[in-house]
Amino acid sequence: ARRSDGSGIVVIGLGRFGCHLAGALTRMDREVLAIDRDADQVQRFSTQLGRVVQADATEEGALRQLGVTGFGRAVVAIGASVEASVLTVLALVELGLPQIWARATSQKHAKILSSVGAHHVIFPEAETGDRVAHLIVSRLLDFIEFDDEFAIATVRVPQSLVGRTLLDLRPDERYGVRVIGAKVPGERFRYASDDTELPQGGVLVVEGGIEQVQRFAGRN
């Protein structure tokens, strides 16, 4: 049964990206309506996802009939066909969906999506490529980048800094980063303070620009 509180999410396009997105949302207990125009894709995911229907999402009338207007959010996960992706966003705009997320495969594609009314544009390939590059060449274990100036990362304690305290090291002055947490192997993360010693084999939570965090963490 469908809730009418608008908390559900419509996922359009069950390609490689869309099927993972819809699967993750389903595992997070969100109500998902998944739409694909390809009967084989619909068949393939019908047992794994809550509600999977076959429809051409560029057709506003078809979306309306499926009850898409009862949902607060839609993600257009179509990548290969720019035309289908743009027309689908347009249909969702016409239906007045409050939050439309759309996947772009190029900057030009992104520009069109924004200009027709997508509220959020995402670049899964570009973002993942970027992210994996950082993880490969540096000693970052994980990170979130908010913009050029701000990221939060977990990093292994650089070997050259083991045993130093933050008061002595002054990472803000030397590297332009702040160490906000530290974890001794086998223990839990604790907030860092001036007298925190960087533990051998430990992990730090560091904030600052991604380049600064990289420099602090050192190269692989």
Q: How far is the CB of 187 from ligand ADP (least distance, A)?
A: 41
Least distance CB 202 / ligand ADP (angstroms): 39
CB of 89 to ligand ADP, least distance (A): 11
Q: Are 130 and 192 in contact (CB under 8 A)?
A: no
Q: How far is it, in rounded angstroms, from Cα 81 to Cα 88? A: 11
Take residue 150 and report the two structure tokens written for it: 């701000």
> Closest Cα to residue 121, out of 143, 142, 99?
99
Kindly tell me which of 36 and 207 has the beta carbon lying closer to ligand ADP: 36
C-beta contacts of 41-47 below 8 A and 24+ residues apart: 41/14, 41/15, 42/14, 44/14, 45/14, 45/19
Considering the complex, state which of residue 58 and residue 196 has its C-beta at the smaller distance from ligand ADP. 58
Question: Is 59 or 145 the residue whose CB approaches ligand ADP more closely?
Answer: 59
Q: Report, in Å, the least distance between residue 101 CB and ligand ADP.
A: 14
User: Which residue of the chain is nearest ligand ADP when measured via CB?
Assistant: 15
Which token pair is 61?
């009338």
Residues that bind ligand ADP (CB under 6 A): 12-18, 35-38, 41, 56-58, 78-81, 84, 88
Kindly report the number of other CB atoms within 10 A of residue 110's CB atom: 18
| 1 or 39: CB nearest ligand ADP | 39
What is residue 15's DSSP assignment?
Answer: S
